């Protein structure tokens, strides 16, 4: 299957994270891990969380991938400053909260995943942090 030349290519879906891995990532972010982190990493984690939760609740990998793609069709990631992971950062998000959006999405009950369906905007209401990580395409909030 070839891609349409007019369709933007979406970022590759990173490997799935287990809840244990997500916990370690949250801890590392909160402790000011010195490993370099991409400024849009926290937004990418939200997209991955939507896909991961969809797959876990439905068993449908194609649907999970479609929702991952739909996330990037609806939103642009906002760079969250990560150069300073300490308390003196200029970021509007406390270091320990930067992965809360993905964490909240990953912990949605399957009944909500079923209710939200393909409405990506609903997933972004899982945590108030989600709103600081994304910008709807077109710039409207």
Domain assignment present for 77:
yes
Give the Cα separation of 85 and 14 in Å (integer).
23
Q: What does each of the 141 residues of the chain score in pLDDT, given as a tens digit? A: 444 444 444 455 555 555 445 554 554 555 554 456 676 888 899 999 999 999 999 999 999 999 999 999 999 988 876 544 445 445 566 767 778 999 999 999 999 999 999 999 999 999 998 988 888 987 655
Residue numbers of the domain that contains 116: 38-82+96-141
Count up the domains in the chain and report the number.
1
Domain assignment present for 130:
yes
pTM here is 0.68
**Number of continuous H segments (helices) and E segments (strands) in the chain:** 7, 2
* Chain centroid to CA 3: 24
Alpha carbon separation from 60 to 37, 93, 103 (Å, rounded): 30, 33, 21
Domain assignment present for 114:
yes
Domain assignment present for 102:
yes
Domain assignment present for 24:
no
Give the Cα separation of 81 and 91 in Å (integer).
6
Domain assignment present for 65:
yes
């Amino acid at each position: 299957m070839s891609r349409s030349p007019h369709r933007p290519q979406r970022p590759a879906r990173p490997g799935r994270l287990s809840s244990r891995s997500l916990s370690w990532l949250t801890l590392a972010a909160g402790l000011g891990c010195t490993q370099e982190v991409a400024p849009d990493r926290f937004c990418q984690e939200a997209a991955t969380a939507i896909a991961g939760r969809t797959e876990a609740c439905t068993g449908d990998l194609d649907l999970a991938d479609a929702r991952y793609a739909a996330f990037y069709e609806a939103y642009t990631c906002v760079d969250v400053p990560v150069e300073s992971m300490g308390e003196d950062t200029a970021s509007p998000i406390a270091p320990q909260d930067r992965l809360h959006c993905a964490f909240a999405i990953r912990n949605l009950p399957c009944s909500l995943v079923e209710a939200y369906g393909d409405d990506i905007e609903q997933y972004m209401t899982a945590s108030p942090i989600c709103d600081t990580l994304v910008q709807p395409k077109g710039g409207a909030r």
